[in-house]
Structure 1
Amino acid sequence: MIYAIANQKGGVGKTTTAINLAACLAQSGERVLLVDMDSQANASHGLGVRVSKGEPAILEVLLGEVSLASIIRSTPVAGLEVAPSSPDMAGADVLLPTLGTRELRLKEALAGASTGHARYSFVFVDCPPSLGLLTVNALVAADQVIIPVQTEYYALEGLTQLMSTVAAVKARLNPSLRIAGLVLTMVDSRTTLARQVEQEIRTHFPRLSFQTTVPRNVRLAEAPSHGLPVSMLDPHCSGSDAYFELALEVIDHG
């Protein structure tokens, strides 16, 4: 199963969700691949993986210069591998339009038996904070979309545009694409605002909301600097518990 983790808003816990959900599934015995499609490469760095200058990464895969299998790296989590990004990815929106099948590059790269469903139970694609060609590539390649939403005043802003993009990709390029659900992140249930936003989202999207909410948690914020998922840094913290619960929901949702 291939999941795109997408939201064009930055700072909503998208990469945190990609890293920690992937790690929890791997720690539960699944084979998991995390594909980093963001030029900031935070998902790669958060798992201790850095690409040296001149070394191929996911951009070179999309350009057809190397295979996906050739760039895959191991991580500190047994069963979790990453296809890393690099700062060169910032040029992708300029380079990809010059190629044929520009929206299909990631799907084609994932199609090989050595990197596709035959090898991994789950593939997660961490999208950049935009609705550009890289996110479209992720949506075309994906079976489902997970949308992290921060419980803040502007939480619903932009969701309509993202839903429209998903619908357009489904209609034109990927008929089987569906939304797995919205996951509420950075939740501080002590505040009235967080409770109001959660209620509003569950009212607007009753069948598209995961039951698990991810709390605001200092260990989640610290984990990337250690190159570890929170479940390895502090397995008993509330952030780790939340992502294990979300992993169970994803397995059940399937």
Structure 2
Amino acid sequence: MAFVYKDGVKVGATGRPLRDFAVPPTLSSHGPARIIAMCNQKGGVGKTTTTISLAASLAEYGRKVLAVDFDPQGALSAGLGVPTHDVPTVYDLLRGIEKDASKVIQHTSVPGLDVMPANIDLSAAEVHLINEVAREQILAGILRQVRNDYDVIFIDCQPSLGLLTVNALTAAHGVLIPLECEFFALRGVALLIETIDKVRDRLNPAIELDGIVATMFDPRTLHSREVIDRVVETFGDKVLDTVIGRTVKFPDASVAGQPITQFAPEHAAAHAYRQLARELIERGAVA
């Protein structure tokens, strides 16, 4: 993570003094899970990468984690090396073709991390769900079946604010927003916050913003630093201290079907995601 010294104090990219988050104690029992939606309607902001790497980091710390691929592109499933064709997927659960959520879940190469996969079939889900009763709450009902088996459930949302994303927000207790350190990514956050507020008012009073994670940070550019300054100025403590830097290791890990923590465990990016996991535990967003 990039840092500078200000008045003799080591300061991180967010302008705050750098903190070292303690390794969390092991859990004596598991569940029920806190459900977190990974959401940003802009694509290419590191959302799926963050879901994969954060989930794997939490699993390293002994948490039982379920990652729900809720994007028709199926990038999360591919990034964790699980099959998505000729197997039941989250689409089958939404349609009621498969009733048992546990039959859709697959184990990954990371101990403690499971996946509910998706493929291109999910792109038809909104058309099928539009006439369903309580259509915004279908995913919530599915996740209730398996919630007691996990400590945290991440929902990797598609880059839009359509019915699938509203389903994710209705099912979630919290929202984590990965935000690329780029001006056009910043512009869309206000619209996303507005959507979260509407879901809170109409569908899910308990939902809260767990935090904003700055991704693809390049300390060499003034633009990256200015974007972080603007985000911290606007959202204050909702901006997490941990900042994820830009690196070519992420696409390499995706091709290998592994999280960065497994593909390059000693890389700075792997350490950053472990720190992000510790920070979320310390903030109480994760048990």
Question: TM-score if structure 2 supplies the norm length?
Answer: 0.86
1:60 to 60, 79, 92: 92
Which amino acid is 2:127 matched to? V
On the 8 A contact 1:39/1:85 being kept in 2, the answer is yes
Deviating beyond 3 angstroms after TM superposition, the runs of 4 or more aligned structure 1 residues are: none
Post-superposition offset of 1:81: 0.1
Aligned length: 250
Q: CA deviation at 1:207?
A: 2.1
Structure 1 partner of 2:161:
131
Q: Which residue number corresponds to residue 245 of structure 1?
A: 275
Deviations 1:129-156 (A, max 9, x none): 0000010010000000000000012132
> Share of identical aligned residues, percent?
42
Does structure 2 conserve the Cα–Cα contact (< 8 Å) formed by 1:155 and 1:197? no
**Equivalent residue for 1:147?**
177
1:178 maps to 2:208? yes
Identify the residue that residue 29 of structure 2 maps to in structure 1.
none
SS in structure 2 at match of 1:98: coil
CA distance in 1, matches of 2:134, 2:119: 22
Aligned to 2:40: 7
* Residue of structure 1 aligned with 2:83, choices 36, 50, 57: 50
The within-5 A match list for 1:74-153 is: 74-112=107-145, 115-116=146-147, 118-153=148-183
User: Are positions 1:19 and 2:52 aligned together?
Assistant: yes
Retained in 2: the 8 A contact 1:38–1:85? yes
Q: Structure 1, residues 19-66: CA drift from partner, whole Å, max 9, x if none?
A: 00000000111000000000000000000012224x320011112221
- The structure having more radius of gyration, on CA atoms, is 2
Check whether the contact 1:183–1:213 (CA below 8 A) recurs between aligned residues.
Answer: yes
Taking structure 1 as the reference length, what is the TM-score of the superposition?
Answer: 0.97
Question: Which letter does structure 1 place at the counterpart of 2:92?
Answer: E
Deviation at 1:221, TM superposition (A): 2.2
Q: In the aligned structure 2, how far is the partner of 1:166 from the partner of 1:209?
A: 16
Question: How far does the alpha carbon of each residue in 1:173-197 deviate from its partner, in whole angstroms, 9 at most, with x for none?
Answer: 1001000010000000111111111
Q: In the aligned structure 1, how far is the partner of 2:84 from the partner of 2:74?
A: 9
For 1:52 and 1:7, how far apart are their aligned partners in 2? Answer: 26
Q: Give me the whole-angstrom Cα distance separating, in 1, the residues matched to 2:64 and 2:174.
A: 18
Shift of 1:249: 1.0
**Counterpart residue number, 1:165:** 195
> How far apart are the structure 2 equivalents of 1:89 and 1:52?
12
Q: State the 1:98 CA deviation.
A: 2.1
SS in 2 for 1:155: helix
Residue 73 of structure 2 is aligned with which of 37, 40, 57? 40
CA RMSD of aligned residues (A): 0.8
User: Gaps spanning 5+ residues in structure 1: where?
Assistant: none
Question: What letter is aligned with 2:88?
Answer: P
* CA distance in structure 2 between the aligned counterparts of 1:82 and 1:148, rounded to whole angstroms: 20
Give the AA of the match of 2:94.
L
